[in-house]
């Protein structure tokens, strides 16, 4: 989206360039911090993914500079920006699936969901005012996905703990049933022990009174 806003691609879109350029810098810092502290296996996988993304971006830049001009360049960069922006907004879908599966918002921070909604809505309105479909479409999707996250948060906000860890399925349910059975058995044993103790006390009292 940053390249789409450049003057030689899309005139009068300087806000798109400056804001998305700043966002790209901040996200680059996040990526560097993640790579520094990630485990070696995850770091290698992310470096490979980063290489693929960088190669695609370089290809978009070269094609737009060397092979396209005028309106064709704008459409090409706009389509690329739309695809990348939709991918960015769709990245929390796995977290939303986890929230629905576990009925817990432990892994979906409220402020992040709110920021996604506000950012998508703001740019969606900006695109409507400028009648720019390459801003309207991705940010409309982002606004909708942000709203969906807020709805999920409202539904499961009272449960921020590990309600049911993913991947355990029936084993987790069976383990829970076993634990419940153990608790019931322990309660029954405690009740029996208490009853026997009371009975012994009563019996001792009767013997003492007879003596």
Specify the pLDDT at position 198: 40
Tokens 């993640």 belong to which residue? 34
**pLDDT-based confidence at 206, cuts 50/70/90?**
very low
> Structure tokens of 144?
């909708």
Query: What are all long-range contacts of 15-18, with beta carbons under 8 Å and residues at least 24 apart?
Result: 15/126, 16/135
Residue 155 backbone phi and psi in degrees, to 5 = -70, -40
Strand, coil or helix: what is 167? Answer: coil
Residue 85 three-state SS: helix
Element housing 158 (H / E): none
104: exposed, middle or buried (C-beta count within 10 Å: 0-12, 13-18, 19+)? buried
Angle at 89 between CA 88 and CA 91, to 5 degrees: 65
Q: Is the pLDDT of residue 121 over 90?
A: yes
Q: Where are the domains of the chain?
A: 1-90, 94-166, 173-204
Average pLDDT, the chain: 75
| 40-73 pLDDT per residue, tens | 888 898 899 889 888 888 888 888 778 777 788 7
Higher per-residue confidence, 172 vs 98: 98
Confidence band for 209, pLDDT divided at 50, 70 and 90:
very low
With H, G, I as helix, E, B as strand and everything else as coil, classify residue 13.
coil
Query: Residue 89 contacts by C-beta under 8 Å, 6 or more apart in sequence?
Result: 116, 120, 138, 139, 141, 142, 145, 146
Identify whether the C-beta of residue 148 lies closer than 8 Å to the C-beta of residue 97: no
Helix axes 133-156, 110-130, angle to 10 degrees: 150
Q: Are 23 and 85 in contact (CB under 8 A)?
A: no
């Amino acid at each position: 989206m940053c390249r789409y806003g450049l003057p030689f691609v899309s005139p009068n879109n300087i806000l798109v360039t400056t804001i998305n350029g700043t966002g790209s810098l901040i996200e680059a810092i996040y990526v560097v911090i993640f790579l520094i502290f990630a485990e070696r296996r995850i770091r290698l996988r992310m470096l490979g993914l980063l290489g693929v993304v960088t190669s695609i971006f370089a290809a978009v830049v070269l094609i737009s500079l060397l092979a396209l001009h005028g309106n064709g360049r704008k459409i090409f960069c706009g389509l690329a920006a739309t695809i990348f922006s939709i991918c960015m907004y769709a990245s929390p879908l796995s977290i939303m699936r986890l929230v629905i599966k576990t009925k817990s918002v432990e892994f979906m921070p409220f402020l992040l969901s709110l920021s996604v909604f506000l950012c998508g809505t703001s740019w969606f309105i900006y695109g409507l005012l400028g009648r720019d479909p390459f801003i309207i479409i991705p940010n409309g999707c982002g606004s909708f996905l942000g709203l969906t996250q807020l709805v999920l948060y409202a539904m499961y906000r009272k449960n921020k703990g590990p309600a049911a860890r993913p991947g355990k399925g029936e084993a987790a349910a069976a383990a829970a049933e076993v634990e419940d059975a153990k608790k019931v058995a322990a309660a029954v044993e405690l009740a029996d022990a208490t009853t026997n103790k009371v009975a012994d006390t009563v019996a001792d009292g009767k013997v003492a009174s007879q003596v």
